[in-house]
Structure 1
């Protein structure tokens, strides 16, 4: 039966596409194969647009996996019309963790749908159902709602597991839970366990589980990774040349393509398409978000400050700025929360790399950035390179910044306050422009890249002299766990490099130019 929604309590029926997916998910090796009867796929991923009932599909699969009569494992073969057909049997003592991205969301996602199916269906007398766990009567098997990995005792018993909306699995604890739980799958081989991940596609650069799964599936498809156990299905509206989504008919066609032929048979599908397209026309709609969730396209969020794909293309991990070269350094951070970063830039090459990035672990409330470690890294940089200037944002580190100014001089270590909107806006525009033009390259550091991707545009009321809007960067919200300090330090380092270029700084002249302070925007 269907879970929460307009069809609640009615018989659950599979459309042709969902039936085909289940056939693939439960495909077994044929009779005569060395592994006959065993599951072909141990990990399945489903990436489709919002509103296609993928979560309820996962709940229905979990229901079959939990049911004491569910024919979800092969118990040999029978011959029909000269063809060997696998015979199904239920799982003995199933353990089914169902993971949501927060504890609150377990009430809205797959576990909640499973709870309705179990508690209100014809076989309700076979289960003892609660808000956190559903057990077979007699204690032989259960499904549990989780927002983190199961404990080691339960985790070793997994027979099927589901991860819901994995584009939201961006926090470290969720990604670690995902890895831990995948590692549990090989432990109970007689039960032939497997994993299912369902999601709307991800925002590039956020480092979500959905992003990792999709990119891994592409590597497998390209032959760059070998994995016979993965099945991945993704549907999106393919972008077209000269596409204009502001045109109602073109936007509607894209929604229809992203929906697929089976969804198009739903009652009043045309009305649903019209409602979806009308959302795009609302004045406050984030059109990049709309494109991601309704067309299932991997597009950068409209409020992201920098183009993450462009940043990826600028990586030069094999390039090293030679020791002794003229460089600039940017510093930004916090001592007791968020993160702290030192980013260097080669003046001649425009190549950036982190000298160090220190992040506050999300689970540590009393974390303090290791001041001595930051100081040691900076000493090493000044010893190994010729540092023309270091631009440092002083709040929270004013004592250390003053110490550095005393050690290396006020003309080399300069306070560069990031709370000045106009100065920051022009600096950030130059930084983004360097990415666009390719003048900038970087080492490919993953943490640095995440901070670039986490940076969100904050529009200013002011405009430049040509009437173009100005913006600065912020986290997505004040208490967000997604850090941006390395992006800010990268900007300050680039700002210092721009000033070095403007001043004509070279290794042979730099000592004379420490006094030639630029008035550009410091």
Structure 2
């Protein structure tokens, strides 16, 4: 068994627990020699502390690895390589059945720590179905405070700390609260360290706390009046079709298609037939009154949708097309739409169904300042962290906003009366 960390200091907290775990009877029966950094047994087994020399670890055949404080395992400190080496060693263990476990505080989004990578990998597995992580041999457990905790409200904060500490009842609530209120840590660090909440870094567009607080236990119903947003890719980029209900801005993805991780993702292409079918099925199921679609890589499909559905749509995406909206232009409008959407999320005026893939895309979106204000982008051009779900949601919200501002909601059109409600 190996207790792994990027420094020996990180392993010490865990290693110092072991001497107290072995009874005198266990020590005598198994010949356990409790040492400081290596614990031996008479039959040659051992528990040892290891650090970030991946080359020294390669080829080891531990049956269990404890990866300690993986929120600090960064590429610069050798953490990424160490995690990959341990995974390779476990796969080659004698007889199989080897396991690893990470123990970590909530990682800081954007640092690209091993803990953050593990969280994203688990999120993608979860997106495919609740049973997929189990079949993949992954178990994820996080005890964290509700997103609704208000730091300035002592009662709310105390309840959040109690929720996050679980059965660690020895933690001193008054001391933790006084530390938070003393300003020793910025708010995002207090939420991460004491409430175990995933919080945004300074460049992120939307806080996970703000997004999670908008979750609603509700889904779209057949016949609901909605707007649609579409952002399409081809191979590497994801493709997203997102609906927003006119009456209350409830957001629900119709579909988000992205390349799977691993070898199955090599040569992957967006299943265009599935996407096209999803668009037509959405128009058959709901009362779609606005549809804004980014034209990049999907020009012919967008043109076809515009021709087929223009008589049903109450607002045009652009001067040239009922559906097509080129996001590479119109920066002032997109920037204003982005600021409006972010403000609505932060104030709780957006609702969403808790879709895991959409949440991941929203969390991946970064702030991009231009001369008109704050727009959005992904962390860099070649980033694997997709934001297409956020872009589609933004277009759906822009379609809704333009329709509201147009004054057409209650105006008869083609035998219809536009208005809020069912």
Equivalent residue of 2:401, what SS? Answer: helix
The answer to whether the aligner puts 1:387 opposite 2:288 as a matched pair is yes
Equivalent residue of 2:180, what SS? Answer: coil
In the alignment, which residue of structure 1 is the partner of 2:357?
447
- Once the two structures are superposed, the pairs formed by residues 68-107 of structure 1 within 5 Å of their partners are 70-72=38-40, 90-91=44-45
Between the aligned partners of 1:214 and 1:508, the Cα distance in structure 2 is: 51
Q: Which of 191, 196, 203 lines up with 1:303 in the alignment?
A: 203
Q: Which of 435, 438, 460 lines up with 2:345 in the alignment?
A: 435
In the alignment, which residue of structure 2 is the partner of 1:396?
297
Between the aligned partners of 1:343 and 1:410, the Cα distance in structure 2 is: 21
Between the aligned partners of 1:452 and 1:390, the Cα distance in structure 2 is: 20
Equivalent residue of 1:71, what SS? Answer: strand
In the alignment, which residue of structure 1 is the partner of 2:154?
none
Q: Calculate the aligned-residue CA RMSD, in Å.
A: 5.1
Q: Structure 2: where are the runs of 5+ without partners?
A: 1-5, 123-138, 146-160, 314-321
Q: Which of 49, 52, 60 lines up with 1:111 in the alignment?
A: 52
Between the aligned partners of 2:104 and 2:340, the Cα distance in structure 1 is: 40
The answer to whether the aligner puts 1:471 opposite 2:397 as a matched pair is no
Larger-gyration structure (1/2):
1
Equivalent residue of 2:39, what SS? Answer: coil
- Tell whether the 8 Å contact from 1:459 to 1:472 is kept in structure 2 after alignment: yes
Deviation at 1:195, TM superposition (A): 4.1
Equivalent residue of 1:111, what SS? Answer: coil
- Once the two structures are superposed, the pairs formed by residues 240-255 of structure 1 within 5 Å of their partners are 240-241=180-181, 243=183
Deviation at 1:505, TM superposition (A): 5.1
The answer to whether the aligner puts 1:22 opposite 2:15 as a matched pair is yes
- Tell whether the 8 Å contact from 1:328 to 1:345 is kept in structure 2 after alignment: yes
In the alignment, which residue of structure 1 is the partner of 2:388?
485
Q: Higher strand fraction: Structure 1 or Structure 2?
A: 1
Equivalent residue of 1:400, what SS? Answer: helix
In the alignment, which residue of structure 2 is the partner of 1:267?
none
- Once the two structures are superposed, the pairs formed by residues 358-397 of structure 1 within 5 Å of their partners are 358-363=257-262, 364-397=265-298
Q: Structure 1: where are the runs of 5+ without partners?
A: 40-60, 65-69, 76-88, 99-109, 116-130, 135-141, 144-153, 244-252, 256-286, 464-469, 516-522
Q: Deviations over 1:28-58 (max 9, x none)?
A: 264689xx9899xxxxxxxxxxxxxxxxxxx
In the alignment, which residue of structure 1 is the partner of 2:367?
457
Q: Which of 243, 254, 265 lines up with 1:344 in the alignment?
A: 243
Q: Which of 323, 346, 357 lines up with 1:414 in the alignment?
A: 323
With structure 1 as the length reference, what TM-score do the two structures score? 0.54
In the alignment, which residue of structure 2 is the partner of 1:103?
none
Between the aligned partners of 2:110 and 2:368, the Cα distance in structure 1 is: 19
Between the aligned partners of 1:501 and 1:242, the Cα distance in structure 2 is: 45
Between the aligned partners of 1:168 and 1:404, the Cα distance in structure 2 is: 47
Deviation at 1:409, TM superposition (A): 2.1
Equivalent residue of 2:341, what SS? Answer: helix
In the alignment, which residue of structure 2 is the partner of 1:56?
none
Equivalent residue of 1:494, what SS? Answer: helix
Between the aligned partners of 1:513 and 1:502, the Cα distance in structure 2 is: 18
- Assess, with a 3 A threshold, how the Cα gap between structure 1 residues 344 and 510 changes in structure 2: closer, same or farther: farther
- Tell whether the 8 Å contact from 1:97 to 1:158 is kept in structure 2 after alignment: no
Deviation at 1:399, TM superposition (A): 1.1
- Assess, with a 3 A threshold, how the Cα gap between structure 1 residues 310 and 428 changes in structure 2: closer, same or farther: same
Q: Which of 381, 406, 409 lines up with 1:503 in the alignment?
A: 406
Equivalent residue of 1:342, what SS? Answer: strand
Between the aligned partners of 1:222 and 1:240, the Cα distance in structure 2 is: 15
In the alignment, which residue of structure 2 is the partner of 1:78?
none
Equivalent residue of 1:388, what SS? Answer: strand
Equivalent residue of 2:257, what SS? Answer: strand
In the alignment, which residue of structure 2 is the partner of 1:160?
65
Deviation at 1:500, TM superposition (A): 2.5
Matched residue count: 347
Deviation at 1:410, TM superposition (A): 7.2
Between the aligned partners of 2:197 and 2:165, the Cα distance in structure 1 is: 23
- Tell whether the 8 Å contact from 1:161 to 1:195 is kept in structure 2 after alignment: yes
With structure 2 as the length reference, what TM-score do the two structures score? 0.65
The answer to whether the aligner puts 1:216 opposite 2:142 as a matched pair is yes
- Once the two structures are superposed, the pairs formed by residues 317-332 of structure 1 within 5 Å of their partners are 318-332=217-231
Deviation at 1:402, TM superposition (A): 1.0
- Tell whether the 8 Å contact from 1:159 to 1:185 is kept in structure 2 after alignment: no
Deviation at 1:308, TM superposition (A): 1.8
- Tell whether the 8 Å contact from 2:71 to 2:104 is kept in structure 1 after alignment: yes
